[in-house]
Homo-oligomer: A and B are copies of this chain.
Amino acid sequence: MSDKIPYKIYLEENEIPRQWYNVRADMKNKPAPLLNPGTGKPLGLEELSPIFCEELCRQELDSDTAYFDIPEEIQAFYKMYRPSPLVRAYFLEKALGTPAHIYYKSEGNNTSGSHKLNSAIAQAYYAKKQGLKGVTTETGAGQWGTAMSMACAYFGLDCQVFMVKCSYEQKPFRREVMRTYGAKVTPSPSLTTNVGRKLLEEFPDTTGSLGCAISEAVEAATTQEGYRYVLGSVLNQVLLHQTVIGLETKTALDKYGIKPDIIIGCAGGGSNLGGLVSPFVGEMLRGEADYRIIAVEPASCPSFTRGKFAYDFCDTGMICPLAKMYTLGSQFIPSANHAGGLRFHGMSTILSQLYYDGIIEARAVEQTSVFEAAELFARVEGTLPAPESSHAIRAAIDEALKCKETGEEKTIVFGLTGTGYFDLKAYESFNDGTMSDVIPTDSQIAESLARLPKIE
């Protein structure tokens, strides 16, 4: 701890970004547009706006504007929990005996427990501004639903959350947080939508799926006057809002003259990774700097490392638009043994294009090794990490250990997306020694990919 860099680098309140950065503006190869699954043609504002808020549709479709002003009302809310600290992992470095310098951007210091709030408050704001009554959404593990509930409570919007039934029952605490914030939480499938009723008729004992919850939320949004649907990852707009993470990280690093060699983020739909790395990728695309950027995904849901770069449905229900992305096929469902989030079959179109173009790299890690990293991190750094974030911790530790071998004093930055306080079922199975690794077979993936829609 003799180093001059403090354990936590806090920015001043006036250093919270006032603009989001749209990395698409600097991409020569733009991410492919969303397609209407019926016509196969790019979706426009008029097709998207019955589902999403208008301003958000504009952000979704805009590949040219480099910066979007963050409205003052959102800036005010950001002050509640931002700037988030960039932490120098002195204790982890010491425990590993590595010459590497490790930093992490810690996004879990808010009740939703993750970075999801950065986009939730933006989406709630635009819904309020449009004069809507409320929004609908789905939640699996519950981070997004909690974030959206908090954001809606702040703006006095109704929030209807369809929560995958097995999570609703197994994660009653998440549900109660949402209820405390005034959200209406419905176990999905439910009797409140046509999709839900139909599914329950066919499979009365189903415990639900994210795909079904999405379909119910979209139906609820489009059949109620004054409602729109909101989504917590994958979309361009979400990555845009999440760039507050990367912009703050860059400001904090610049303040101390630190230049990272490696930037690491976990990758599910891509919201955190995209938000963290966008400003750095921008520098790379403009030829101003060079970094190694590593996406870390679960071996049980390896869309980057074993998926195909192709147009696919964004949902298992096959009602949402088609996106060109690395995908395992919309019917791919990770093993029930897979703990935590990062279970989306596809990946943000922006990140997919960047990976395809060789700007970022990717690796898959197995969950027992992820929880080993999580346990070490919790013990030495004092924060119990979310299973999702722990994928990034695993890769950061692995890179730091390589430095130990080579003696290189590299600077590693990773995103600690959140805390694991509502994920203790997964920790329990790790503590009990009953957690197993789950890796899909080649034929499982091939079978799922065989069902991709036929579009070039």
A residues within 8 Å of B by Cβ?
Answer: 1, 6-8, 10, 12-13, 76-77, 79-81, 91, 109-111, 113, 150, 153-154, 172-173, 176-177, 179-182, 375, 378-384, 419, 421-422, 424, 427-428, 430-431
Contact = CB atoms under 8 A, between A and B. Distances in A.
B382 A110 contact: yes
A114 to B, nearest CB: 13
A113 B113 CA distance: 12
A177 B13 CA distance: 32
Contacts of A422: 173, 421
A292 B424 CA distance: 42
29 contacts: A1-B76, A6-B12, A6-B79, A7-B13, A7-B79, A7-B80, A8-B13, A80-B382, A81-B382, A111-B382, A111-B384, A113-B421, A153-B379, A154-B379, A154-B380, A172-B428, A173-B421, A173-B424, A176-B428, A177-B384, A177-B424, A177-B427, A179-B428, A180-B375, A180-B378, A180-B379, A181-B378, A421-B421, A421-B422
Contacts of A172: 424, 428
B1 A6 contact: no
Contacts of A8: 13, 79
A176 B427 contact: yes
A179 B384 contact: no
A182 B80 contact: no
A244 to B, nearest CB: 16
Contacts of A173: 173, 421-422, 424
A15 to B, nearest CB: 11
Contacts of A176: 424, 427-428, 431
A18 to B, nearest CB: 14
Nearest to A149: B379
* 8 residue pairs, one from A and one from B, having the closest CB atoms: A173-B424, A7-B79, A176-B424, A153-B379, A6-B13, A111-B384, A80-B382, A421-B421
A417 to B, nearest CB: 15
A340 to B, nearest CB: 14
Contact of A110 (B91, B379, B383): B383
A80 B76 contact: no
A76 B3 CA distance: 13
A80 to B, nearest CB: 4
Contacts of A113: 421
A154 B76 CA distance: 37
A113 B384 CA distance: 11
Nearest to A384: B111
B13 A383 contact: no
A379 B181 contact: yes
Contacts of A77: 382
Nearest to A146: B384
Give the residue among A80, A180, A381, A422 with the most B Cβ atoms within 10 A: A180
A153 B377 CA distance: 11
Contacts of A80: 7, 91, 381-382
B111 A378 contact: yes
A153 B378 CA distance: 9
A113 to B, nearest CB: 8
A180 B79 contact: no
Contacts of A427: 176-177, 179-180
A76 B113 CA distance: 25
B111 A109 contact: no
A384 B117 CA distance: 14
A381 B375 CA distance: 31
Contacts of A424: 172-173, 176-177
B378 A431 contact: no
Nearest to A153: B379
A379 B419 CA distance: 20
